[in-house]
Structure 1
Amino acid sequence: MATLSYNPSKLRNHKPQSHKPISSLSKPIKIPFSSSQFYTLSPSKFNKLRLNSVSESSVSLPTNQPPLTSASDNNFNEEEEEEIDDDPTSEVSYLDSETDPDSIIEWEMDFCSRPILDIRGKKIWELVVCDGTLSLQYTKYFPNNVINSITLKDALISISDDLGIPLPEKIRFFRSQMQTIITKACKELGIKPVPSKRCLSLLLWLEERYETVYMRHPGFQVGAKPLLALDNPFPMDLPENLIGEKWAFVQLPFSAVQEEVSSLEERFAFGASLDLDLLGIEIDDKTLIPGIAVASSRAKPLAAWMNGLEVCSLEADLAKASLVLSVGISTRYVYATYKKSVVTTQEAEAWEEAKKACGGLHFLAIQENLDSDDCVGFWLLLDLPPPPV
């Protein structure tokens, strides 16, 4: 059984502030795993697999913050300080004093309207920036009549100047509607813009801000829908260079998943990990994490191509007997198909339920064959609902 909530110790403000943890994003569901339903990957190797009906048929893929001052150093008492810290109209400008500014080379960013009206009755826009560990946190409100690439470029420069950190090498963002403005601002500053839904720290922080900041703002509009909703397009055919030869539903103990992720850099393997401490995921080491294993005789080139796609998640489409791969901001592929039957439908359902039981955690592994000792690509993935703003 897994629980998923934001780790409140990672959240900071420009003044000491307490935050409520985010409620579970995916209600934990306890389901039994049957060894007959999945491959069970060996905790140390990938060669001890138990075949199931789907995989036996060799299904192919389709063609600088100052130190906190004491109460005696402040010009206001603790009650006044708490009131200021709890002000939903205040902005955040924070850099962890223990973090080397030069080590923060990638930012995550959202630049969008909020369900908040200003004195003109117009929606307020907000820039929210953080890094993957939340060592950097920055927010700034804007009126809706200054939203352009120049405003954004100047704001990014201000973050660098105000906090004494260099501009990043990359900035990830997840709204396709803002791609033109963000791309132009980034390129003028020599920053690589990366359209990606792998902005997990940012997405969870936005959900936390919705509950603790936006809903308490005096201009909050109850029931307001997001102005720039996330795209969820119809899945396309998989490009030829991403096609493997065989695949299978698999499961791997959580302890082994952690070992695999930690060894990515050591083995120079392709893939991506998640900050599980930040996400507040609590899973027993023996809990089996669901995943998809893909085998290919050209595993390394396949993993290399996959590594440049900003892989977000995998889901089983029960109605169409297929797997759907989400990458980047709004790209979805039919990643694999299987022959629909009672058995395969139950297997796919169990795989999806397993994801829910793990708080949406799952993985993708690419191997030379399904009996390989290890993998050449490993991506730890997480299903997250779209942010409420």
Structure 2
Amino acid sequence: MASLNFNSTRIKHPITNFSSPTKPTFIELSTNKKFPHKNLRNLKFPPCFSVSESSISSQIVSEEIEDDPTVELSYLDPETDPESITDWEVDFCSRPILDIRGKKIWELVVCDDSLSLQYTKYFPNNVINSVTLKNAIVSICDELGVPLPEKIRFFRSQMQTIITRACNELGAKPVPSKRCLSLVLWLEERYETVYTRHPGFQKGSKPLTSLDNPFPMELPENLYGEKWAFVQLPFSAVREEVSSLETRFAFGTSLDLDLLGIEVGDDTLIPGLAVSSSRAKPLAAWMNGLEVCALEADTTRANVILSVGIATRYIYATYKKTPVTTSEAEAWEAAKKACGGLHFLAVQNDLDSDDCVGFWLLLDLPPPPV
């Protein structure tokens, strides 16, 4: 198990207390150059697809697909057990593409977090409803031989009603969450390689449904810790801690960094936030019930923002605003950016402990361009 002696990574500043904010603990943060995300198509691009009925052939090779941005995808990794794909990531939204009527085309994009399942289908704008989505989900299951999903994650609050209704009719759990990272990166890749090459593409067109970034709310009492600190860990220690989540039955979540195209050296210092509490286990359990997405140091308001779900933001911690604390918070954000948005949240019984009760590996990504 990774050693999490956070105290060894901090300089001599007092720990910040939630109830009576003081100067935040600060560590010298990594200034590694930002690394690029790999192209998802190079990481998990299928050798061939089942093609929709509108296509000429039932199967074509990926090279041909790349030459035709109008092709719809229907793919299941042959090495993956279909029964293991229980959680889907779904986007059902308009695209910057006009059909022959001059109306925006809508698209359903479905995948799982490993991209073993990949499905896309275009729709005219006059059939966008929960029935259409429900029928499309059933068709995916029938066509690819996968079970109905147990959970469906989605990141657009504007589509919550349609997706929730479809999920309820299918017995699936709708999960509003910005942790649809594979989906978001795939959409980013599709924008460059598919949408911009489509004959109906409209340059400069803005998404019909924009993403929310609401004003942060007060943190619920059950989520309060007692002390917190900006901290850092070598990536090797972060990886060890993540790998031990299941063996130690700890709370938290991980990320498939290889799939997401994130390359980090073992000695790279990953920024994070450590939170301690005498009731660390109940606190971690409550946190585990949320879709924890990202942490952000807001230097304007001198606080740390916790983002969960789709559009929920909490004031997670505060500190006294001074030129020194502002520069420290800016350095923490700069370190996060230098790691491509990678950071973590750790919940401990004590900030000097070697163990974590909860550990969440997080990735702060910009919204997709569609």
| TM score, norm. by length of structure 2 | 0.87
Structure 1 unaligned blocks of 5 or more: 1-41, 70-74
Match of 2:202 among 208, 221, 225: 221
Shift of the 193–319 alpha-carbon distance from structure 1 to 2, 3 Å rule, reads: same
Query: 1:49 Cα deviation (Å)?
Result: 2.9
Shift of the 221–68 alpha-carbon distance from structure 1 to 2, 3 Å rule, reads: closer
Tell me the SS of whatever aligns to 2:83: helix
1:166-210 Cα deviation digits (max 9, x unpaired): 011100000000101100000100000000000000000000000
- The residue that corresponds to 1:60 in the other structure is 18
- The residue that corresponds to 2:218 in the other structure is 237
Q: Distance in 2 between matches of 1:362 and 1:110?
A: 25
Query: 1:62 Cα deviation (Å)?
Result: 7.6
Shift of the 58–353 alpha-carbon distance from structure 1 to 2, 3 Å rule, reads: closer
Q: Does 2:286 align with 1:305?
A: yes
Query: 1:344 Cα deviation (Å)?
Result: 1.3
Tell me the SS of whatever aligns to 1:277: coil
Q: Aligned partner of 1:110: which letter?
A: D
Q: Distance in 2 between matches of 1:286 and 1:118?
A: 50
Query: 1:46 Cα deviation (Å)?
Result: 2.7
Match of 2:98 among 117, 135, 139: 117
Q: Distance in 1 between matches of 2:9 and 2:61?
A: 63
Q: Distance in 2 between matches of 1:138 and 1:309?
A: 27
Shift of the 239–53 alpha-carbon distance from structure 1 to 2, 3 Å rule, reads: farther
Q: Aligned partner of 1:59: which letter?
A: N
Given that 1:62 and 1:243 are in contact with CA atoms closer than 8 Å, whether structure 2 keeps it comes out as no
Query: 1:57 Cα deviation (Å)?
Result: 4.8
Q: Aligned partner of 1:108: which letter?
A: E
Shift of the 61–134 alpha-carbon distance from structure 1 to 2, 3 Å rule, reads: farther
- The residue that corresponds to 1:46 in the other structure is 5
- The residue that corresponds to 1:23 in the other structure is none
Q: Distance in 2 between matches of 1:100 and 1:369?
A: 42
- The residue that corresponds to 2:25 in the other structure is none
Tell me the SS of whatever aligns to 2:200: coil
Identity percentage over the alignment?
77
Q: Distance in 2 between matches of 1:128 and 1:81?
A: 18
Q: Aligned partner of 1:225: which letter?
A: K
Q: Aligned partner of 2:5: which letter?
A: F
Mean Cα deviation higher: 338-347 or 378-387: 338-347
Shift of the 84–310 alpha-carbon distance from structure 1 to 2, 3 Å rule, reads: closer
Q: Does 2:157 align with 1:199?
A: no
Tell me the SS of whatever aligns to 2:333: helix
The Cα RMSD (Å) is 2.2
Match of 1:96 among 77, 85, 88: 77
Q: Distance in 1 between matches of 2:239 and 2:16?
A: 28
Query: 1:82 Cα deviation (Å)?
Result: 4.1
Q: Distance in 1 between matches of 2:169 and 2:62?
A: 40
Q: Aligned partner of 1:233: which letter?
A: P
Q: Distance in 2 between matches of 1:178 and 1:81?
A: 31
- The residue that corresponds to 1:126 in the other structure is 107
Q: Distance in 2 between matches of 1:129 and 1:115?
A: 18
- The residue that corresponds to 2:132 in the other structure is 151
1:327-366 Cα deviation digits (max 9, x unpaired): 0000000000011122211211111110111111000000
Given that 1:62 and 1:238 are in contact with CA atoms closer than 8 Å, whether structure 2 keeps it comes out as no
Q: How many residue pairs align between the two structures?
A: 338
- The residue that corresponds to 2:342 in the other structure is 361
Shift of the 252–115 alpha-carbon distance from structure 1 to 2, 3 Å rule, reads: same
1:27-67 Cα deviation digits (max 9, x unpaired): xxxxxxxxxxxxxxx9523364354465x15422589xx98
